[in-house]
Amino acid sequence: MTKGADLLVAALESEGVKRIFGLPGEENLDVVESLRNSRIELILTRHEQAASFMAATQGRLTGRPGVCLSTLGPGALNFTTGAAYAHLGAMPMLMITGQKAIKSARQARFQIVDIVGAMRPLTKMTRQIVSAASIPTIVRDAFRVAVEERPGPVHIELPEDIAAEQADVALVPPHPIDRPVAPASALDRAVAMILASKHPLIMIGAASNRPRLVEPLSDFVRRCRIPFFNTQMGKGAVTGGSNLYLGTAALSERDYVHDAIDCADLIIAIGHDTVEKPPFLMSQIGGPRVLYVGYVSATVEEVFHPDAEVVGDIGATVTALADRLDGALVPDPDILALRREILGHINERADSDQFPVIPQRLVRDVRAVMPEDGIVCLDNGMYKIWFARNYRTHVANTLLLDNALATMGAGLASAMAAKLFDPHRRVMAVCGDGGFMMNSQELETAMRLKLNLVVLIVEDRAYGMIRWKQAVDGFADFGMTFGNPDFVKYAESYGARGHRIAAAGELVPTLEAAFAAGGVHLVVVPVDYSENTRVFVDELGGRAPETEPG
Ligand SMILES: Cc1ncc(C[n+]2csc(CCOP(=O)(O)OP(=O)(O)O)c2C)c(N)n1
Ligand SMILES: [Mg+2]
């Protein structure tokens, strides 16, 4: 006979789980005791939201579910934002929450919330475990569902009496599963469309950024020699082939990269997930045709309605397409002619010495201190658009940004998870002064874990992105500004190191020294956001009739 909590932990071990992020409560004590006797590391956080962001990010980086643990009611509710983050972002994650005993009710309804119900719209699967004997099956199913395309979060609730219950049952071992591949007829149709087009263009979308796709996708681009651009969450998915890279569609229209889209007669949209802010807007008539390549069917939207689909394992699809197209195409000179111009605009003003620094300089300087495989993890704010647009990536998953839920507060937690994922790579969190303060307590976790981490705080003493949109829409400047703590002292109070940038030229040496010294560093850089309007409204807005800010 085995106790329910021991069965749960044994099942997690058999799924290859090495660590669990969490903040336990009384109802998890059996599970915590089982973890103490296991090989799994418990990584304690200071807020459940951070634990869920960390688990989701681990899932995003590894392709295997990250696991997080919380108590019932209040703790479990703090997972909901992380659940939505993983659900919209297609990140495999398992959330385990406690619950009061279900066979008796000695505390009546104290702290009881219907968490299984609350998680329903936020997960791919949510279940209460009602008998210890069912634990192996439910855990196995949860892992299967979480990684299956389209991946996402799953939730299981383990009541405390079930955690303590004894059962005589064996584990269900994981078994290999292959992803279904697209039928030959779909591949034939796709090849015919590509060969018939004069100006084909590849768009790399969010679902391209799966760890297993790096090689087949990069190979596909190199062999077919079709110019490509990416969505925000598709950044880095293609390594090499950079002479074909045209830029990132961080805005929906009117950016320079849209000149290439306007020139194209066919867009091969690989892994596009319409949770992302549209990388371009399809009109009902005219415009390029769209060939969608994805693991699962495309969603049809007002602004995205493909003309053909190849549904199946993306890796297998692009390899099959490359085999058929190899040598048949030459890079389109018309689109390549636009490339120099598009990338030239992106580099404009990047060397400005202005202080407070302008976003273009900020992005350039961060790129300068990050090696190709370094990972930059963004929170959500105005700087995200600048990073998405201007930061060049050469390796998959090296700019972790959230263009799906686009929640504030995940930057630091995702950077911590990235550092745990690969301690040998440089990792930097870039947060606004608003977003950083939403989960800044996790500096203690980072210190306790002895992480080498640089946190760059972009300071404008405001919810800058909303303040900017308020101005663009002609509203009065109201309700968006705040004061900040002394971030240097704040860092020091955690035992971390704090730095305040006082001139543009200090940024690179300060970041470099912070990485060289190791430990946790908070670097505050005052930003001048007047470039938002100058570039996104005045410069780009003048290129087309409509005005739609970032
Ligand atoms: C949890 C959450 N609350 C509110 C928003 C709406 N929002 C998007 S960006 C933003 C401002 C972010 O401010 P800050 O972190 O300081 O970055 P800045 O834009 O100033 O650079 C707000 C309030 C959000 N995306 N997520
Ligand atoms: Mg701000």
CA of 200 to the centre of ligand 2 (A): 40
**Contact criterion met (CB below 8 Å) for 51 and 22:** yes
Tell me how far CA of residue 548 lies from CA of 48, 473, 538, in angstroms.
Answer: 36, 10, 12
Residue nearest atom 9 in ligand 1 by C-alpha distance: 381
Picking from 60, 147, 122, 146, the residue whose alpha carbon sits closest to that of residue 400 is: 60
Angle, in degrees to the nearest 10, between helices 29-36 and 4-14: 50
| Ligand 1 binding pocket mutation candidate from 465, 472, 533 (most atoms within 8 A of CB) | 465
Please tell me the least confidently modeled range out of 8-12, 24-28, 133-137, 257-261: 257-261
Each residue's pLDDT tens digit, 202-252: 999 999 999 899 999 999 999 999 999 999 999 999 886 678 999 999 999
Distance 331 CA to ligand 1 centre (A): 40
Asked whether residue 200 carries a pLDDT value surpassing 60, the answer given is yes
Q: Whose CA is nearest to atom 8 of ligand 1?
A: 381
Q: What are phi and psi of 275, to 5 degrees?
A: -65, -25
Distance from C-alpha of 312 to C-alpha of 296, rounded to nearest angstrom:
7
452-493 pLDDT, tens digit each: 999 999 999 999 999 999 999 999 999 999 999 999 999 999
Secondary structure in 3-state letters for 233-252:
HHCCCCCCCHHHEEEECCCC
Is the per-residue pLDDT at 439 higher than 90?
Answer: yes
CA dihedral sign of residues 35, 453, 378, 345: negative
> Does 549 have pLDDT greater than 50?
no
Please identify, by atom number, the ligand 1 atom nearest to the C-alpha of residue 379. 15
pLDDT in tens, 127-152: 999 999 999 999 999 999 999 999 99
- How many percent of the chain have pLDDT more than 70? 98
Please give the model's pTM, rounded to 2 decimal places: 0.96
> Token pair of 246, please?
């045209």
Q: Which residue has the tokens 């000695």?
A: 106
pLDDT band of 361, cuts 50, 70, 90: very high
Nearest atom of ligand 1 to the alpha carbon of 383: 21
Q: Please compute the mean of the pLDDT values over residues 410-416 and round it to a whole number.
A: 98
Contact 404, 89 (CB under 8 A): yes
Q: Tell me, in angstroms, the distance from the centre of ligand 2 to residue 534's CA.
A: 18
Say whether 48 sits in a helix, a strand or coil: helix
Asked if residue 264 lies in contact with residue 199, where contact means CB atoms within 8 angstroms, the answer is yes
- Residue range 386-408: average pLDDT? 95
In this prediction, residues 152-157 reach a mean pLDDT of 98
Amino acid 544: pLDDT: 58
Question: Counting atoms of ligand 1 from 1, which one is nearest the CA of 458?
Answer: 21
For residue 485, give every residue at least 6 positions away whose Cβ sits within 8 Å of its Cβ, in sequence order, or none.
Answer: none
Q: Which run of H or E residues covers position 9?
A: helix 4-14
Atom of ligand 1 nearest to the CA of 438: 1
The answer, yes or no, to whether residue 550 has pLDDT greater than 50, is: no
Nearest residue by C-alpha to atom 11 in ligand 1? 463
Spatial contact of 209 and 236, defined as CB atoms under 8 Å apart: yes
pLDDT at 538: 87
CA 81 to centroid of ligand 1, rounded, Å: 15
484: CA distance to ligand 2 center in Å? 10
pLDDT confidence bin for 546, thresholds 50/70/90: very low
Is there a contact between 217 and 270 (Cβ–Cβ < 8 Å)? yes
For 149, what's the count of Cα atoms within 13 Å in the CB-facing half-sphere? 23
Q: Which two tokens stand for residue 214?
A: 């790096």
Q: What is the pLDDT of residues 22-49, one digit of tens each?
A: 999 999 999 999 999 999 999 999 999 9
Least distant ligand from the CA of 460:
2
Within 6 A (CB) of ligand 1 lie 380-383, 406-409, 432-435, 458, 460, 462-466
pLDDT tens-digit map of 163-181: 999 999 999 999 998 899 9
Output the DSSP codes for 371-421.
-TT-EEEE-SSHHHHHHHHH----STTSEE--SSS--TT-HHHHHHHHHHH
How does residue 284 score in pLDDT terms, banded at 50, 70 and 90? Answer: low
Identify the pLDDT of residue 64.
Answer: 97
CA distance 261 to 335: 9
Question: Which residue, judged by its Cα, is nearest atom 25 of ligand 1?
Answer: 407
pLDDT for 547 beyond 70: no
